Structure formats: C-alpha cells, structure tokens
C-alpha cells in the first residue's frame, strides 16, 4: 500500500482542543513519514497570512468581529489555500494539517452560533478538499489545562475550551473509531475528494476517521 510517486498524497488532519498535543503529534508524524521516504509537509489553519492577518488580529483581541463574519473568514482562509493544497496533493505530497473545517464548527458553535448553521446550512465548506484521515486527539480538559496553561489568545480559556469539547463531541458519529494505531497512509484515489453536499459535508467524519486516545 505504499504511496507511489505517481499517486497523490494524503490529506491528514489533526483536530482537538488547545494543548491536546497536535503540534507534537504532527511533528512526529511528519518525521516518521519522512523516514519512510514520503514527500510530506506540515500545515496549519488558520494560516496567518492573507485573510489570516484579520483572523490573527481577531484572535489576539486587537479587533472585534461578528461571530458569523469570523467564522466565514476562517472558511475563506481555507479557500485561499485550496488550489495550493490540491497541487501539492496531486504532485504526490502528503499534507499533515493542524486544524481544518472541524475546528470551524467546534469553535464557532461553542460561541453560541447555531451548530447546523456552522456545519452544513451555509455550505461554505462544500468544495474544499475532504481529508482522507482525521485524528481527533482526545484529551481531558484537566490534562490540557495542566500542560503549562493557555496562552493569551481569545479562545484559550478553560470555560470556553469546555464548550469546544462539547461541540467536538457533537461532531462525533458512528464512523468515529477509537483506535490508536495507524499505518502509513494507503493509496488514495488519484483525484482528491471534495466535500460533497450530499455527504453532509466535511463534518461528517468518514469511515477512515480515527479517534486517538
């Protein structure tokens, strides 16, 4: 099942609360895949360039934005990168992405935006590339808080993280598997899948999704 040079790379997403270990795990996954001679890159959303400059200013409390507006900016931030992501995947590079559309739903709905509005109603995610694999790094709030405290950004507060955890739980469906092992990504179809309207969008975690405990 090795990725061949002429097959596309895999889109691997890591999700979870702040301080759940996404950064460490993506670094480990990156070096392990590099060791297996895959072409692989580490990405993160929000990307703090372009539209991301506004997001960054919002997150650091330097500006205020309507909750829906910031939600859509996060989505626009992914759209800005869509063609580059596709080009990378098509050229055989695997992308390990720290946060994606799931964060979009979990964080915005934790603020009180309607869950369904965030998830499918606005369909602003439809057409983005669907991940081949999503790791949800499940950590208790207490453990996350123990890990040296949160930074000073807008969402980095215990009470808020609690709500985010509840939102992530709502995104869980029967297809999520509790599993700790993963192999190298298997060969995927040549063309990256896009988020289909019918498939209840990117939020409905597909068969390949795993929960890492």
The span of 24-32, 88-96, 104-112, 180-188 binding ligand 2DT (CB under 6 A) equals 104-112
Strand partners, 178: 211
Mapped onto helix, strand or coil, the DSSP state of residue 115 is: helix
- Rounded Cα distance, 185 and 197, in Å: 25
Q: Report if residue 9 touches ligand 2DT, rule: CB under 6 A.
A: no
- Rounded Cα distance, 212 and 44, in Å: 19
- Which of 3, 20, 51, 59 binds ligand 2DT (CB under 6 A)? It is 59
Q: Report if residue 167 touches ligand 2DT, rule: CB under 6 A.
A: no
Q: Report if residue 19 touches ligand 2DT, rule: CB under 6 A.
A: no
Shortest distance (Å) from residue 57 CB to ligand 2DT: 12
List C-alpha distances in Å: 55 to 15, 48, 102, 134, 175.
Answer: 19, 7, 17, 24, 32
Beta strands in the chain (DSSP E): 11-15, 40-44, 94-98, 133-137, 177-178, 210-212
Q: Report if residue 103 touches ligand 2DT, rule: CB under 6 A.
A: yes
- Rounded Cα distance, 210 and 176, in Å: 6
The span of 28-36, 96-104, 130-138, 199-207 binding ligand 2DT (CB under 6 A) equals 96-104
Q: Report if residue 168 touches ligand 2DT, rule: CB under 6 A.
A: no
Q: Report if residue 45 touches ligand 2DT, rule: CB under 6 A.
A: yes
Chain contacts with ligand 2DT (rule: CB under 6 A): 18, 45-46, 59, 74, 99, 103-104, 107-108, 155
């Amino acid at each position: 099942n090795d990725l061949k040079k002429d097959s596309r790379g895999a889109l691997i997403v890591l999700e979870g609360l702040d301080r759940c270990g996404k950064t460490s795990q993506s670094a480990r996954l990156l070096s392990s895949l590099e060791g297996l001679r895959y072409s692989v890159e580490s990405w993160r959303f929000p990307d703090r360039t372009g539209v991301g400059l506004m997001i960054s200013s919002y997150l650091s409390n330097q500006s205020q934005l309507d909750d829906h507006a910031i939600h859509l900016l996060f989505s626009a931030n992914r759209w800005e990168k869509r063609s580059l992501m596709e080009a990378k995947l098509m050229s055989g590079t695997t992308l390990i992405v720290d946060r994606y559309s799931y964060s979009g739903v979990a964080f915005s709905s934790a603020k009180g935006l309607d869950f369904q509005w965030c998830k499918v109603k606005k369909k602003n995610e439809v057409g983005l590339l669907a991940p081949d694999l999503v790791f949800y790094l499940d950590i208790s709030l207490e453990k996350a808080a123990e890990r040296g405290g949160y930074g000073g950004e807008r969402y980095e507060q215990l009470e808020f993280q609690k709500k985010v955890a509840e939102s992530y739980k709502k995104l869980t469906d029967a297809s999520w598997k509790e599993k700790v092992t993963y192999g190298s990504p298997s060969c995927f179809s040549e063309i990256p899948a896009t988020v289909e309207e019918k498939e209840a969008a990117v939020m409905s975690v597909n068969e390949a999704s795993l929960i890492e405990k």
